[in-house]
């Protein structure tokens, strides 16, 4: 049970999907920088909990290998030592093995130490220790079948109000009130842009079913649940383009629910925000 509990740091739960929506706004082909090898993906995160998560996974795998080998040797020993032979009779009385008893206690204590010493602090760092005093970038990450929408507050730093009544899957997938002063410069886009070496505080949510926001190179995974905004934070330490995926089966096109995360310099990020926050040009029929 404790081994299962340790995996809560990295595994989210969810339910299957049942509906489908059309794709809005900007979509990009997924491009991945860095090679995904036979072990864990590249780790470009600078937050401490990401590296502790890797450490926990490595320790657990080594520990499980040792348990597998140890119990396998014991199993083979029992097969040979207690095999059916002429002149030997089985003893139905239960035996009392001190070595196995102490081994089981040791395993339980070791798992408890991992849970209390690594898993609990990592979970607290992700959910409670938000770097609000380090000039973070705030973004809302909204999942829907079968895409991610990223909502930025624009240069004013304020999110505009949203409403389901204003949702248009082609032009306004999150229903932002563009007439409100706080919503005029908001950015809603299908490509995830973040500055390098700066904390990101993301509010994770969903429009329809349960999704799971997953950025392998940042060691970030969080369920997106309808009706909830779940905060988490992370920070990238290397520029490039990386994959954003959905780690929860959410419908028949779940495989296509991907996006690009662009990690760029602070200057390039500010230029991108300034460009994308400009109001759209009005169409003038006289120009034809």
Domain extents in the chain: 48-127, 134-278
pLDDT at 29 over 90: no
- Read off the pLDDT of residues 99-118 as tens digits, 9 standing for 90 and up: 878 888 998 999 899 899 88
Query: Do 210 and 228 contact (CB within 8 A), yes or no?
Result: no
Question: Is a pLDDT exceeding 60 seen at residue 126?
Answer: yes
Which pLDDT value is given to residue 282? 60
| Whether pLDDT at 39 is above 70 | yes
Higher pLDDT, 285 or 273: 273
Tokens of 73: 């040797």
pLDDT at position 157 over 60: yes
Give whichever of 25-39, 116-130, 153-167, 186-200 has the largest mean pLDDT. 186-200
Whether residue 24 has pLDDT greater than 50: no
pLDDT digits (tens, 9 = 90+) for 243-272: 999 999 999 999 999 999 999 999 999 999
Report the alpha-carbon distance of residue 272 to residue 265 in Å, rounded.
11
pLDDT beyond 90 at 123? no
More confident residue, 22 or 250: 250
Give me the CATH code for the 134-278 domain, please: 2.60.40.420
pLDDT at residue 21 is higher than 50: no
Quick one: pLDDT at residue 170?
Answer: 85
**What is the overall mean pLDDT for the chain?**
83
pLDDT attached to residue 12? 36
Look at residue 287 in the predicted model and tell me its pLDDT: 59
Alpha-carbon distances of 131 from 25, 51, 84, 98, rounded to whole Å: 31, 17, 66, 49
Confidence of residue 229 (pLDDT cuts 50, 70, 90): very high
């Amino acid at each position: 049970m404790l081994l299962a509990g340790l995996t809560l740091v990295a595994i989210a739960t969810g339910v299957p999907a049942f509906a489908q929506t059309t794709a809005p706004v900007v979509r990009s082909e997924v491009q991945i920088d860095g090679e995904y090898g036979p072990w864990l993906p590249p780790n470009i995160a600078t937050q401490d909990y990401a590296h502790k998560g890797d450490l926990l996974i490595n320790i657990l795998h080594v520990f499980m290998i040792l348990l597998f080998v140890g119990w396998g040797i014991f199993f083979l020993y029992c097969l040979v030592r207690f095999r059916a032979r002429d002149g030997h009779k089985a003893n139905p009385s239960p035996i009392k093995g001190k070595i196995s008893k102490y081994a089981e206690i040791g395993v339980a204590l070791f798992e408890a130490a991992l849970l209390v010493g690594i898993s609990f602090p990592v979970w607290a760092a992700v959910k409670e220790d938000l770097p609000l005093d380090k000039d973070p970038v705030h973004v809302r990450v909204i999942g829907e079948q079968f895409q991610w929408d990223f909502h930025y507050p624009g240069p004013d730093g304020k999110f505009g109000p949203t409403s389901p009544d204003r949702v248009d899957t082609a032009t306004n997938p999150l229903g932002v009130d563009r007439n409100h002063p706080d919503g005029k410069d908001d950015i809603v886009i299908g490509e995830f842009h973040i500055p390098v070496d700066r904390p990101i505080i993301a509010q994770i949510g969903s429009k329809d079913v349960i999704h799971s926001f997953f950025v392998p190179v940042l060691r970030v995974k969080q369920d997106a649940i309808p009706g909830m905004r779940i905060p988490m934070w992370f920070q990238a330490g290397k520029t490039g383009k990386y994959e954003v995926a959905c780690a929860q089966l959410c419908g028949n096109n779940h495989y296509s629910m991907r996006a690009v995360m662009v990690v760029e310099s602070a200057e390039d990020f500010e230029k991108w925000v300034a460009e994308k926050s400009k109001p759209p040009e009005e169409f003038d029929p006289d120009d034809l």
